[in-house]
Structures are given as structure tokens and as C-alpha cells.
Amino acid sequence: MKTRAEFSRVKNTGQAKAGRWVILSTLADPSIDTLHTGFITTKRCGKAHDRNLLRRRFRALVQSHAPRFLEIRRFLVTIARPAAVQATFSELEADWLKQARRLGLFPSPQDQP
């Protein structure tokens, strides 16, 4: 995701869940072929190297967990909260996964064999 219009569309018409370290927003869109991701790390999160670290961590989370999504045709926006810089990768991962489950991105445990 690169345009402001895509980000605002997800914000205005999608679903969002907030956690301690991240806010995860999503919008299903059957017109796209793959997952479109975007990451928001504002200056409140820290200096440029801190924001870059957060974006690298978010990209790693999406790459490792997105193949298990129920529906891949969607927009997904991860917004870092200002305190996310102090979180470890495992804390960020746990919070990100919790919000993704709350949004229904993963199959429910009773559906799996």
C-alpha cells in the first residue's frame, strides 16, 4: 500500500483492533489478488532507526503468519503505538497475533483437525 487513499479507505470502511503495542486494521477486497500491507510508524515512535526497526519487525510478522490467513485478498495496516519501540519482538508478535485473531484473520481452533 502506498497511496493515502488506500490507507484512508481501510481506516474508514475496515475493521480495527487495538492492542498494547499495535493497532491492526483490515479490509477484505475481492478485487485484489494478494495481501496488500502497510505500516505506520509515526515520529512519536522514536528516531528513524527505531521506526525502521519496527517496520522490519512488522514485515517479518506478516511474512511468517500471513500464509495462514483465511482470506488473502485484503488490505492489512499495522500501526505502531509510541511505546512499541520498547517491546521485544516476541511481545510485538504476541500482540499482533492477538489482534489478528480478534479480527478473524486466522481459522478458529475448532475448525482445525
| Residue count of the chain | 113
CB 21 within 8 A of CB 87: yes
Could you tell me the pTM of the whole model? 0.90
pLDDT of residue 113: 47
pLDDT of residue 110: 55
Write down all domains in the chain, each with its CATH number in brackets.
4-103 (3.30.230.10)
E strands along the chain, which residues?
A: 15-18, 22-28, 36-40, 74-80
Summarised one tens digit per residue, pLDDT across range 7-32 is 999 999 999 999 999 999 999 999 99
Average pLDDT, the chain: 93
What integer is the mean pLDDT of 49-63? 97
What integer is the mean pLDDT of 43-48? 96
